[in-house]
Chains A and B, each alone.
Chain A
Amino acid sequence: MNDMRVTERTVTDKEIKMKARKVQVFYGDNHAIKDVDVDIEDKTVTAFIGPSGCGKSTFLRCLNRMNDTIDICRVEGDIQLDGEDIYDPKVDPVQLRAKVGMVFQKPNPFPKSIYDNVAYGPRIHGLARSKSELDEIVEKSLRRAAIWDEVKDRLDAPGTGLSGGQQQRLCIARAVATSPEVLLMDEPCSALDPIATAQVEELIDELRERFSVVIVTHSMQQAARVSQKTAFFHLGNLVEFGETSKIFTNPDDPRTESYITGRIG
């Protein structure tokens, strides 16, 4: 942890990758997210914490327009990726999702081989010009997700046959393969045992070198371990957003303090 803080101090002014201003989300009549302003920095892990139903997953899904697949969901406000409004009619949500990848709560490998799982994104977006190039992308992605050594001899085996932790790392490899700029993770460890969780956390820390990562988590220890920035959500409001070390040691808002010390949630 101490090392982590040191690296953080060495890179001081990172550029802002995603910027959200006055974001409102409605599910039908239910006002789920109210006036949220967040800046996601490049090459940083940002953690969203908060009690269940506080809207952190909903907000995460706004960042790559996954909420578009839900009929009754309506998003207002301004979310920018590299200064471009992602809800602009000119933006193709399909292209956006290639840039802003997502890893889900439950590992969801496709019922295909391990190779095809990872090659899925590159194939759709035409990222590889030849078979050997595709092989290269698959290997690189699996290495980056720290699962290459475990699966390199059985790339043709079905992805669903792996263990839970391996499946989740496969899903991370799958998301990494499209070379996204931002990686969204919705409670990526909640279905995993402690060993697999540790592996995934280690992986998240490595991914930070190339992407900006946004992670939703219920575990405050996890947020403290992996993130540099933390946002605390409560009842659809963004209560506090800042350096992880500050949020966990010296929060400004009394609600943040109560949540972190376990009095609300």
Chain B
Amino acid sequence: MPLLWIIVIVVLLGAGGFVLGRQRAIASAGGDARILHSLPNYYGTNVMILAIVPALMVMAVWMVIQPLMIETRVTGMIPEAAIEAAGNRGLVMSDVRRVADGLDTAIAAGALTADEVRDLSTADTDVRARLGEVGVALGSEVSAEVLAAAQSYRALKRTGGLLMTGVVLVLAVLGLAYGSIRTNREFRARNAVEASILAILMLASTIAILTTVGIVLSMLFETFNFFELYPWREFFFGLEWRPSFEGGSDLGLIPLLWGTLYVSFIALLVSVPIGLFAAIYMAEYAGKRMRAVAKPLIEILAGIPTIVYGLFALITVGPLLRDYFAEPLGLGSSSSSVMTAGVVMGIMLIPFVSSLSDDIINAVPQSLRDGSYGLGATQSETVRQVILPAALPGIVGAILLAASRAIGETMIVVLGAGAAAALSLNPFEAMTTVTVKIVGQLTGDTDFSSPEALVAFALGLTLFVITLGLNVLALYIVRKYREQYE
């Protein structure tokens, strides 16, 4: 049964449960809802939650575990020799899945019947040709082991699907029944609903955390694979980035990291003073009306997609910097440069710095300002000597957040700084960053067993560690100094 149908049935059961629970509760109170422990809707909601939530949760878990279990059982059927011939286990398994899906397509198209598929054997049928007729192209001849594995893969999948449908529907009905039996006027449905809501909220946050863990783990495994193929020493300390898919590439991190840090540094050089001064103006000097107009205008900058900034870098800032700075100064003739990307990225980051700093400056108590004015300080003396020191931890946090945005930025760099890795001090030279190279290594036809593709994961993990480090540092600074004026 298709997934959608299962979900629709479970939800319908839940809706029925709501009505049933409500009616049973009112009936148990003899029609007078005031005698009930909780409002009638709570009884309905309780039954509905019991019918829907456990069933759908089991379904979700089942859908994660079933493919894993089928995979292990089917892999066992393939002899070691076949795996060695193909290169690795993953390739054989993807063949098996392809054949299995192909057989499904063939049945759907009417080229084969279910019985024919079950009895299919490589001895008397050319499976590749038969599947080719219905539009399923296979890379190689189907071996007997692969076909057998594919057939058992199909069978297991089918049984699993049926079993899941049964279990989920039975659970939904059981939940419904349990909920309605428990419904009487003494039952504390309100508290039960409260507990269910707590559980659902906790589940949501757990999923968010587990996803993060999952992302890190997946990167970690691929990174290990990469380091099995490529020495870590050369990756971390290599000064050359020259990937070549014929093998023998140099995959040194240093030029990319240099590019990333250089571009981010220029971006912060642009965004921090402008953003901070804008924030000080907004928070301390601007009148109410000015603030109401200017603040949203600055924040519009934050809403512009980065690709649009990239275009701005490509057609406006790049040529401008080249014609008026790089060429007259004899520093280069490329319109793609670290400077271009850095300046445009800096513009992008202004609202981050200014908006966060503005909030932080506003949070400095008025009493500190009064104290300073009361001693005869001018406004800028007050800002410089009292407000900024008090707001400093928050401002540092804002800057570090902006820095992690800068490090992770891709589009502006592609269009503004180019895609050639270089290790140079000249800000008017084209360079590239880690993120751009990750995209570069994974676009197009990639072979995930080559170090040239896997290096993307190592790069990604490095980037993740750097931004994580920055965020942790930001949190630490904010926490350590936060209570100073409270």
- B374 / chain A contacts, CB cutoff of 8 Å: 64, 66, 97, 101-104, 175
Residue in A94, A103, A110, A171 whose Cβ sees the most chain B Cβ within 10 Å = A110
The total of interchain contacts (Cβ-Cβ below 8 angstroms) comes to 74
Pair A171/B371 contact, Cβ less than 8 Å: yes
- A178 / chain B contacts, CB cutoff of 8 Å: 375-376
B252 → A minimal CB distance (Å)? 46
Sample of 7 more A-B contacts, CB < 8 Å, known A66-B373, A178-B375: A66-B370, A71-B288, A102-B370, A102-B374, A108-B368, A110-B385, A120-B375
Q: Does A154 contact B (CB under 8 A)?
A: no
Where the two chains meet, the residues of A that have a C-beta atom closer than 8 Å to any C-beta of B are 64, 66, 69, 71, 94-99, 101-104, 106, 108-112, 120-121, 124-125, 158, 160, 171, 174-175, 178
Q: Does B484 contact A (CB under 8 A)?
A: yes
Interface size for B (C-beta < 8 A) is 22
Q: Pick 6 A–B contacts, CB within 8 A, sort by A.
A: A66-B370, A69-B373, A99-B376, A109-B371, A110-B368, A174-B371
State which residues 373-398 of B face A: CB under 8 Å: 373-378, 381, 385-386, 389-390
CA distance A95 to B378 in the complex (A): 9
A162 → B minimal CB distance (Å)? 13
CA distance A52 to B370 in the complex (A): 21
- B381 / chain A contacts, CB cutoff of 8 Å: 124
- B367 / chain A contacts, CB cutoff of 8 Å: 104, 106, 108
Given contacts A104-B371, A160-B484, A171-B371, contact A110 B386 (CB under 8 A): yes
- B365 / chain A contacts, CB cutoff of 8 Å: 108
- In the complex, what residue of chain A is closest to B392 when comparing beta carbons? A111
CA distance A124 to B370 in the complex (A): 15
Pair B376/A125 contact, Cβ less than 8 Å: yes
- In the complex, what residue of chain B is closest to A95 when comparing beta carbons? B376
Pair B371/A101 contact, Cβ less than 8 Å: no
- In the complex, what residue of chain A is closest to B375 when comparing beta carbons? A121
Residue in B288, B377, B378, B386 whose Cβ sees the most chain A Cβ within 10 Å = B377
Q: Does B372 contact A (CB under 8 A)?
A: yes
CA distance A124 to B372 in the complex (A): 10
- A69 / chain B contacts, CB cutoff of 8 Å: 369-370, 373
Q: Does B485 contact A (CB under 8 A)?
A: yes
A159 → B minimal CB distance (Å)? 10
- B376 / chain A contacts, CB cutoff of 8 Å: 94-99, 121, 124-125, 178
CA distance A101 to B378 in the complex (A): 14
CA distance A95 to B389 in the complex (A): 24
- B370 / chain A contacts, CB cutoff of 8 Å: 66, 69, 102, 104, 108
CB 8 Å contact bits of B452-486 with A (1 = contact, 0 = none): 00000000000000000000000000000000110
CA distance A109 to B377 in the complex (A): 15
Pair A101/B373 contact, Cβ less than 8 Å: no
Pair B485/A175 contact, Cβ less than 8 Å: no
- In the complex, what residue of chain B is closest to A68 when comparing beta carbons? B373
A145 → B minimal CB distance (Å)? 14
Q: Does B287 contact A (CB under 8 A)?
A: yes
- A174 / chain B contacts, CB cutoff of 8 Å: 371, 375
- A64 / chain B contacts, CB cutoff of 8 Å: 374
A111 → B minimal CB distance (Å)? 4
Name the one of B287, B375, B386, B484 contacting A97, with C-beta atoms under 8 angstroms: B375
A78 → B minimal CB distance (Å)? 22
Name the one of B371, B373, B378 contacting A110, with C-beta atoms under 8 angstroms: B371
Given contacts A106-B367, A110-B390, A160-B485, contact A94 B378 (CB under 8 A): yes
A204 → B minimal CB distance (Å)? 17
Pair A98/B484 contact, Cβ less than 8 Å: no
CA distance A212 to B368 in the complex (A): 24
- B287 / chain A contacts, CB cutoff of 8 Å: 71
- A102 / chain B contacts, CB cutoff of 8 Å: 370, 374-375
- A98 / chain B contacts, CB cutoff of 8 Å: 375-376
Name the one of B375, B386, B390, B484 contacting A175, with C-beta atoms under 8 angstroms: B375
State which residues 386-435 of B face A: CB under 8 Å: 386, 389-390
- A95 / chain B contacts, CB cutoff of 8 Å: 376
